[in-house]
Amino acid sequence: MALYDYPINTLSGDTTSLKEFEGKALLLVNVASQCGLTPQYTGLEALQEKYASRGFSVLGFPCNQFGEQEPGTAEEIATFCSTNYGVTFPMFEKIDVNGEHRHPIYAELEEVADGEGHAGDIRWNFEKFLVGPDGAIVQRFSPVVTPEDPALTEAIEQLLPA
């Protein structure tokens, strides 16, 4: 199956898939509200605002598997993201990104290695996956690579029309 085909719920509980994002460049990120990397929401929202009109979207996937740093309910997560970071990009249900109950989207993503050669399990919150408009997984970025990192922004720009 392609990334677009797996069913997933939105943060508000509606069943959907990534099909509506087909043809766009995407940055899929497992997120958490109580992590040292949580301030990356600011940069992720800036990417959304800068590139959305050119066919790009950040997609957030809350996950509580790393230090239980995303303990909230869907409503609490939505309120936190909106109130503290003005998040407008799509957010999905809280999922597992590793282990026996790993969501199929992340089973596909984790096969790609990052710049350091790490493939397999997601290491921490805010690991990033850049997906091209054709649905191909283009690049994986370590959690410590910030949304403002030139390597990330250049990779996004290469996928977008001028």
Q: Which of 90, 94, 112 lies closest to 45 in space, CA to CA?
A: 90
Buried b or exposed e, range 42-63, using 16+ CB within 10 angstroms: ebbbebbeebeeeebbbbbbbb
Q: What DSSP designation does 34 have?
A: S
Residue 35 a catalytic site member: yes
φ/ψ of residue 69, rounded to 5 = -90, 5
- Say which of 4, 8, 22, 35 is annotated catalytic: 35
Give the span between the Cα atoms of 134 and 76, in whole angstroms.
34
Q: Tell me which residues are annotated as active site.
A: 35
